[in-house]
Amino acid sequence: MFDNLSGRLQNIFKTLKGEGRLNEENISEALRQVRLAMLEADVNFKVVKAFVDKVKERSLGQEVLESLTPAQQMIKIFRDEMIGLFGTETSRMDLSSTVPAPLMITGLQGSGKTTTCGKLALWLAKENISTLLVPADVYRPAAIEQLRIIGQKTETPVFSVNSKDSPVEISRKAMEHARDTGFQAVLLDTAGRLHIDDNMMKELVEIKKAVKPTEILFVADSMTGQDAVNSARIFNEYLDVTGVILTKLDGDARGGAALSIKKITRKPIKFVGIGEGFDALEQFHPDRMTSRILGMGDILSFIEKAEEAIDVREARKLEEKIRKESFTLADFLGQLKQIKKMGPLDQLMHMIPGIDKLKGFNEASFDSSYLQSIEAIINSMTPGERKSHTIINGSRRKRIARGSGTTVQEVNNLLKQFGKMQKMMKNMGKLSKMLGSGKQNFSFPRN
């Protein structure tokens, strides 16, 4: 996400760091490049002007020009102001003021509203909040059936509707049912249109009056750029939305909608969709997103994903295998499967600070096919070969390559890399044993 903008900004900062001293001339030139980069990223021109003016005002002050590291100080200012574009703080969902909490999901047709309802239901389930999905869209063909299927996939109950009822009546009845049956949250999947019209907006206003939602969330397709921003502004004028959910952010190389929408609507981004899976919804953190855009990584999100995906019991078994120096290809395959649960590998790589600056780093190699080919190779091995890879001779390698749809060279590369990994694991195991035994047969150098 934001690859085009991120690359341009990082090059600008690299140039700044190469300057011996910063002055008004080279700061102005850098900010001219920033302005062009943001406009090309489809950021709202008013937002760009205000942002650049504020960065310039601070950059020409004493905190930069008299700093020992002026370029770094300016980058810090840039980061602070970009976080400000996103809203400075993480915006939480209001789920406590009313029980059950009515959550109204709005947006144009095609923005991903119904799918987002499923993602949000799964997110709420992880927070131990019981949720009822409500199909309040009676106009789009198969909209009700689509939500039912999503409910089955996410194991979320879906309210049964009478097709003769209006969306307002459906919403009112769903709230009564939720109160009677003890649900904590109600997700109302409202109707969208291909464009904004008065009838659509009046209906949404009536639903709002009927259920008094604690959250009115506008779902915007980030790929549509300023069209999404303008739609969000109009919805906000009618409904006074409480927040925005940006979908398809993983495919947005520009980032114009994300960087503009908060300043234009004055409403926070609460969630972002970063993939097709129902678990591909993240709570939005302004500071973390800014760090990703500026190439500084997002280690906190990486740790959170790891904690969700990694089985503690399996991790303890792995630790024991490392201690006993018995880490095999079968164990390696198990680790790969846990890594895949964390999400697309290329997205995970960008969460690690400085990964793109490492010698030999190639983003193209970190896609889903990279893990799939490794998994296919290991699955094509016999149990004995997985347990002891040293028995894999030339003929076995050819058989494994044929079975996995790969080349002998790819099989050789995997075995070579695994051999290095196993050696590293053995060294870790020896160190762990030595520390665990309490033997003090080593010493630190004295000054």
Gap between the Cα atoms of 95 and 242, Å rounded: 13
Pairing of strands 131-136, 243-247: unpaired
Give the residue among 344, 337, 328 at the shortest CA–CA distance from 425. Answer: 328
Amino acid present at 174 = A
Please name the residue that has the structure tokens 């009056």: 209
Q: Which tops the pLDDT comparison, 447 or 312?
A: 312
Buried b (16+ CB within 10 A) or exposed e, 202-241: ebbeebbebbebbbbbbbbbbbbbbebbbbbbebbebbeb
| 142 confidence band (pLDDT: 50, 70, 90) | confident
Cis upstream peptide for 100 (omega within 30°): yes
> Residues 359-370: what's their mean pLDDT?
54
Sheet holding 281-283, edge to edge: 131-136, 185-190, 101-106, 215-221, 243-247, 269-273, 281-283
Q: For position 303, what pLDDT does the model report? A: 53
pLDDT at residue number 37: 92
Q: What angle do CA 154, 160, 166 make, to 5 degrees?
A: 120
Burial class of residue 157 (count of CB atoms within 10 Å of its CB; 0-12, 13-18, 19+): middle
pLDDT for residue 441 = 42
- Residue 40: alpha-carbon gap to chain centroid: 23
Domains of the chain in start order, with CATH, are 3-86 (1.20.120.140), 101-296 (3.40.50.300), 303-437 (1.10.260.30)
**Tokens read off for 199:** 């009838």
Q: What is the pTM of this model?
A: 0.69
pLDDT tens-digit map of 393-434: 999 999 999 999 999 999 998 898 888 777 766 665 555 555
**Dist CA 333 CA 122 (whole Å):** 27
Q: Give residue 361's pLDDT band: very low, low, confident or very high (50, 70, 90).
A: very low
Report the DSSP pairing between strands 243-247 and 185-190: unpaired
Packing angle of the helix pair 113-126, 143-154 (nearest 10 deg): 20
pLDDT tens digits, one per residue of 267-323? 999 999 988 889 889 899 888 888 878 877 545 555 555 556 556 566 666 666 666
Q: In this model, does residue 325 exceed pLDDT 60?
A: yes
